[in-house]
Each structure stands twice: as C-alpha cells, then as structure tokens.
Chain A
C-alpha cells in the first residue's frame, strides 16, 4: 500500500461540492477550522483499491483571487500543501461560470479530475454536454455525477485512482492561452522568474498572478533573489497590457479566461430545449412577490422562532429535570466535601444550566440547514438586503440577528453564513444586543416587582432598546473600526432544491457539536471559577448569632403554642358553665366545635409565622456568608463602580455572576437577599426584598438596561472568540458592551433623578 494521497475538493458555492465530498468520504469526516481564520475546514478519508485518500473540502469560491478569506484559504492550500489531486466540482447546469474557476485551477497545474455535478438538472434545462471533448479541452478527465443520488461517484473514485496511479489517464497539462499581447508579457516575466534560483511549482502561473497585480503572490517569492528586477519588469508589463487593452491588466486577463471558457462550452454544449423550464422562477413568483414576499418571509421567521423555542421547551424540561435529579442524587450519595461541592454545585450545575439550551440550538441549526439547502436563505437575503444595507451589512446578516432573540450563541455561530469576514465580525459584535431568552427571567422579576401593572410594556421596551442599540452600534462600527471592505453585493439566487434529510441532520450535527465541545471547555472552566468565588474562604465568622435567633424563635413558638392552649382551655371551661342542654354533650356542641376551629387556625398561623421567621434567619445567614465569600468581597470592591448607577454591592455581584449566564442574576439575587436560589416571579419575598434593598423603580430601569446590554454570558463570549478568531475582538465586544451598559444606566439614573421620575 502506497502513502496516503491528498485530494482537495474545489468548486463554486452552490455547486454541490459538499454533497460530493460527503459521497466520497461517507461519515469519516472531521470538521474544524482553517488555522487562524473562521472558515470551516472539513476533512475526510476513504479507501479505494487499497489506497487511502485524504479528502479536504476547500471553501466554496467563485475564483482564486484574494478578495475573501475563503479564496485565500483555498489558494494557499493548493499552493503550499500541494495536494496530489484536485477534484473540481462543476455545476453542469451552469457551466460557463463554474469553468471560470476551473481555468485558474488548470493554471496552477496540479493533476485534476472534474466532477460534472447536477447532470440531472442540466438535462432538465435541455443541455447536452460532450464530456469526452470537454475533458480533452480542459486537460483533465470529466466525470458526470449526480451528487444527490450518488450516481457516478464510483466512476469518479476510479478516475481519481487512475490519475493518481497514471495507469492510462495521463493528465495532460494544458495552458490557458491568452491574447498574444498578454502572452508576450507572460513570457517576459517567466524569463525573469527563471533566473531567480528558486524552484517554483509553476512559473507561468506566478507570472499570470503578477500581471493580475496579486499582492499575495509575493509570499511565495520570499526566497526569490531577483525581486527588484522582477518588480520593474512586472510594472512595465502591466503598463503595456493596460495601454493595449485600455483596461486594467487584471480585467483583461479575466476576460481572456472567459474567452477560453466560452470556446470550450461552445464546442461541447448543445441546447436541445428551446425554453427550459425554470421551476424556481415560478416558486419565486410567490416567495419574493412584491406584496406577498414580506409577509411570507415574516411568517417563515415566526415559524422558525416558534418551533425553536416552543418545541425546544420539551426536551429543555427533560434535561432540566435530569440535571436536578443528578444533583439531588449526588448530594445524597456523596459525602459532604470540597470535591463533592466542586463536582455537584460547580461543574454539574454550571454546565447543566447551559446544557438546557442544547435542544434550542440543535433545532435552530436544523432549520437553518433547511433554509440553506432548500435555497430560501438566499431569498431571505434578497428580501432583507435593503434594511441590512443601511448598516453596511449584507442581506443575509438579518438571520443571525433575529436568531439572537432566542439565544446569542447559535446566532453568533450562524454568522458563518456570511461570506465576508468583516460582515461576520460586525454581525457578531452587535448580536449580543439582541435580547436573548435568558434575559427574560430577569426582566420578569424586576419589571414585575416595580411595574406590576406595566411589566409587559417595560419588557417590550427592553427588546426595542436592544434592537436600537444593535442598529446604532452597527452604524458606529461600520464608520469606525470596521470601515470599508464591504464586498459588492452580487448574490446568486440558486435554484430551489428538495433538501436531503440525511444532509440536514449532518449539517445540524456538524455545527451543534461545536457547542457541545464548548460546554466541556470554556463553560466548565467558567462555572468552576464562579463556584470557587462562592465557596471560598471556607471559614467565615458570622456577624450575628443566627443559631441563637433560631433557638429564640423556637422558644417563642413553644410559649405561644402554650398560651393558645391555655386560652382554649379557659374558654372551654367558661362556655361549659353556661351550657344547659342535656340532650347533647358539650363536647359535641356547636360552641365547642367553634372553639376548636379557632384554636387550630391560631396554631396553624403561628406555625406558618414561625417557619417564615426561621427561613428569614436562614436566608439572612446565607446572605451574611455570601458577603464574606470572595464573591461578596468582589461585590464590595466593585461597589464604587456601580454606585453612580444607584446600584448596591448586591447588584454588582448579581451582574458579575450574570457573566456566566443571565438567568443566574435572578438566582444570585435570591441568595443575596436571602430568599433562596429557587426564585421566580411569584416569589413575593424577593420582590419585597428588592424594594427594601433600596432599589427604586428608576434604578430598576437602569438595572434592566444594564442586564440587557452587557455581555450575555460566558458561552456567548466563547462564541465571539471562536467566530472572530481573536481575543482582541472578544475583549472589544465585552468592554464596549460594558461601557455602553454603564453609560446608559448612569444616564437613566442621573437624568431620572434630576427630573424626579419614578423615585
């Protein structure tokens, strides 16, 4: 068995490249990122005739110029990693455009096999393609395939094998021949290149790239000795070409490539149908209709939202119960120790709190895969482009923003649908302002406490504020830190296709597993840190004698119970003396029963009051303990920072723990105010405590705005880090949102106090 051969799969977006990749490798795949950039890198393997092939799925590109990260990644791989074979997937129903990339691949000069995909659609369009002749013209074997059904994949494997073993199909390298005036200049530059004393894989390709003013080509020429003369000759050659063609050299060369492509297709493609049927056009008569288009779009969004969060609610509950069950179980079986607390209260509770979002995330990714594979995603971009354009964004950026209302983590991961890195970063940065569902419990609690009659309005205002913050920040970023480099909007609206269920599941899993991996890393570490802050120092000195207080309450209870009993006995004695009936004994009389009822209700009331009082002492104790743990000390430290907003150290601590996940703000409050961690809006204790804790309706608005705007959670932070690929942008996002949150809360508190609003 010979060494593993590397295959690079290249092709346009929407050409069915991924389907071909999947058919080749089956499930033996690994998804990762290309180093340093957030472009998905898929790698798989298969064995054919005892030969192992490693298959790399290059990003889908229309060309190999260097305008996008994807193009750069694809080109770098071909040049630097030198794959043994390139499989160029070409959409047969769209030959002219797809072959433009092919011409660039031919020039690089690696052995190549062309997979002519979507032959069924080409036939529907009435196209007959002479694959033999096309193969001869392109200098590479052409294999007709239908990726969706797997037709022709075996033949493709056979051809790849043959090209690699050179049994019969000697890949005949051809040159793309340009206009003679361009050829003359290529000749000239090649001549200089030959003198530079380095082994270039393909001097002709380098010469063409130099003529195209491709700056990145110099990266391959680091060791080249004659750089200066090469620069001079290149500049001269470009000048010559631009004079002759009255166009930029780059444009002239691209035109020449198209000339080559047209020559090839004219010879090999025959159209049999006069008017091909365009089903997508008919579907679009409704889906992008000038009046119906928007309502239909809104309806699909609504469905997406409802399904994700309503259907997701069931498995969410199951996971929630499973986690609670596990925590309870471990609490009973594990002896109380630091390790047990770390495992149960730190790791399992922390990761469990995030794990409940898994169903939402997977459902959302499934719907996105459905939208992408069916072709409707491109229509969404078409419909929303006008709105997003005003933010300097691409139409497709709308989808991750809307998803943010559900959960920012999948939404930020969803920015991958955007082609340009700048758009991805911009959308990622403004995404946290879309108020996610985890913030809702905080709104419900606080708005419910201070605005019981207008809670709905306050909550709605939070969503609107978030949207406005996103739009304004987007405008700000696109004018400052993320200026320029917005790609021209040229969007392909690919034909609608019936999605394949297995491929939908695969896409969902591919993206979702990233989140699972994250739970085991970043979120786990974060949970442990927060746990440690709440756990250490272990020994605290209580400021009050809580046990004594409880004991006192118990004594009071006994005294009270005793006095009730005494009073009862006295009353019975008195009534008995006034009792005359001989027919009914006193113990069965109405009067006696009344007295018993009175006594019982008094005892019951006493018992309830006692329990409440004991609980209060317990919570006060917990609050006392918390204030002495690191977390409480941290709260005291940051108190000066949040004091100008009218917040106390409690708000500070709640906000800090909110970094782990926003829902935790509520449970932290519960702990700090001493009403227990299991808090919900019906819990009257916390509402009273909030009001007694010095918070006014005005401060509560500031607090809500702060909760809305600052970094949603650790998982979001991790997603930002992952998608931007940089700690710099992650820090920027955290600092910016904290600043914005602080300034707005400050403004609300100061201006509100001055105007004496809601105080």
Chain B
C-alpha cells in the first residue's frame, strides 16, 4: 500500500545552475525578465516545460500571494503560479518593461 509512493523516488538527476546572477525569485512586481536557465530536478524542469515555461521566454512578475508565497507570473499572456523556493532554481536576466 505504501510502496506505490516510495518506489518512485528513484534518483532523478538534478541540474545545478551555472548562472550565478539573478533568480526568478528576485523579481519585484511589475518587472520583466528573460529565463536563462532552469535548474532543479528533471521532473521540475519538464513540468515547467509542459506548462509552457521555457528557456528564452520573457516573464512578467505580476504579484506575490497575500501570504507572500507563491508568486504569480505572466508568460505569453497566461498566468502561472510558482513557489518562491522553486523560482530560486530559475536563472534570469532582467529586461526593460516594454519588451
């Protein structure tokens, strides 16, 4: 009965960020940024990709939730929500607000 969950925790490769600069979690509401690199487990990276968040995409930080976590982003016109601890695994560069 319990095995169902435990046997799935096979070793999933983790990706260490090479970029040392800004993280998605550093963005302030209203700021825009381009995604440079996505770290974390493969599952996390694939999941982001499935949800349409890819390297090279420009995202806008919309707001933080009332309890300051998670954060709301706008990507290609739709709204996604990410926890800040996950956003720390995403390297970005800021872009001008009108881009």
Contacts and interface: CB of A to CB of B under 8 A. Distances in A.
Interface stretch (A59-67, A196-204, A591-599): A59-67
Given A125-B77, A276-B77, A484-B9, A294 B66 contact: yes
B66 A289 contact: yes
A383 B65 contact: yes
Residue in A387, A389, A395, A491 with the greatest tally of chain B CB atoms within 10 Å: A491
19 contacts: A93-B77, A94-B77, A248-B42, A251-B42, A251-B45, A276-B77, A281-B74, A291-B66, A385-B65, A482-B5, A483-B6, A487-B43, A488-B41, A488-B43, A488-B44, A489-B70, A490-B81, A493-B79, A732-B1
What are the 7 tightest A-B residue pairs by CB atom distance, in nearest-first order? A97-B52, A728-B1, A293-B66, A493-B79, A386-B67, A62-B50, A491-B81
Contacts of B68: 386
Nearest to A375: B79
A586 interface: no
A389 B47 contact: no
Contacts of A482: 2, 5
A382 interface: yes
Contacts of A62: 47, 50-51
B76 A96 contact: yes
B63 A490 contact: no
A385 B53 CA distance: 20
Nearest to B70: A385
Contacts of A284: 72, 79
Contacts of A248: 13, 15, 42
Nearest to A213: B42
Contacts of B65: 288, 293, 382-383, 385-386
A491 B76 CA distance: 15
B50 A288 contact: no
Contacts of A94: 52, 76-78
Interface in A238-262: 247-248, 250-251, 254-255, 258
A382 B81 contact: yes
B46 interface: yes
A250 B81 contact: no
Contacts of A495: 78
Residue in B13, B40, B43, B65 with the greatest tally of chain A CB atoms within 10 Å: B65
B72 A493 contact: yes
Contacts of B1: 726, 728-729, 732
Interface in A470-500: 481-485, 487-495
A17 B52 CA distance: 19
B51 to A, nearest CB: 5
Residue in A96, A247, A255 with the greatest tally of chain B CB atoms within 10 Å: A96
A280 interface: yes
Nearest to A488: B44
Interface residues of B, number: 45
B70 A422 contact: no
Contacts of B64: 290
A289 B72 CA distance: 12
Contact of A251 (B46, B66, B78, B81): B46
A278 interface: yes
A383 B65 CA distance: 6
B82 A489 contact: yes
A263 B54 CA distance: 15
Nearest to B75: A97
A100 interface: yes
Interface string B56-71: 0000001111111110
A281 B78 CA distance: 10
Contacts of A395: 70
Contact of B83 (A276, A280, A385, A729): A385
Contacts of B47: 62, 67, 487-488, 490
Nearest to A68: B47
B96 to A, nearest CB: 16
Residue in B50, B62, B72, B83 with the greatest tally of chain A CB atoms within 10 Å: B50
A240 to B, nearest CB: 16
B69 to A, nearest CB: 5
Contacts of A492: 51, 78-81
Interface string A29-63: 00000000000000000000000000000000011
A484 B78 contact: no
Interface string B1-14: 11011101100010
Interface string A411-428: 000000000011000000
A288 B66 contact: yes
Given A386-B65, A732-B1, A258 B82 contact: no
B86 interface: yes
Contacts of A255: 49, 54-55
B72 A97 contact: no
B5 A422 contact: yes
Nearest to A729: B1
B48 interface: yes
Nearest to B9: A484
Contacts of A293: 65-66
Given A488-B86, A728-B1, A386 B69 contact: yes
Contact of A484 (B6, B54, B70): B6
A15 to B, nearest CB: 12
A421 B4 CA distance: 10
A383 B52 contact: no
Contacts of A483: 5-6, 9
Contacts of B4: 421
A731 B52 CA distance: 41
Contacts of A385: 65, 69-70, 81, 83
Contacts of A491: 70, 80-82
A256 to B, nearest CB: 11
A736 to B, nearest CB: 13
A382 B46 contact: no
A1 B97 CA distance: 61
Contacts of A484: 5-6, 8-9
B73 to A, nearest CB: 10
A406 B83 CA distance: 30
A288 B6 CA distance: 36
Contacts of A383: 65-67
Given A387-B67, A490-B51, 13 more contacts: A62-B47, A94-B76, A100-B52, A248-B15, A251-B42, A254-B50, A288-B65, A389-B69, A482-B2, A484-B5, A488-B43, A491-B80, A491-B81
Contacts of B62: 281
Nearest to A482: B5
Contacts of A481: 2
A291 B65 CA distance: 10
Given A276-B77, A489-B83, A288 B63 contact: yes
A494 B4 CA distance: 31
Interface in A266-312: 276, 278, 280-281, 284, 288-291, 293-294, 297
B81 to A, nearest CB: 4
Given A489-B81, A490-B82, A65 B46 contact: yes
A717 to B, nearest CB: 16
A168 to B, nearest CB: 34
A374 to B, nearest CB: 15
Interface string A97-114: 100100000000000000
A485 B43 CA distance: 10
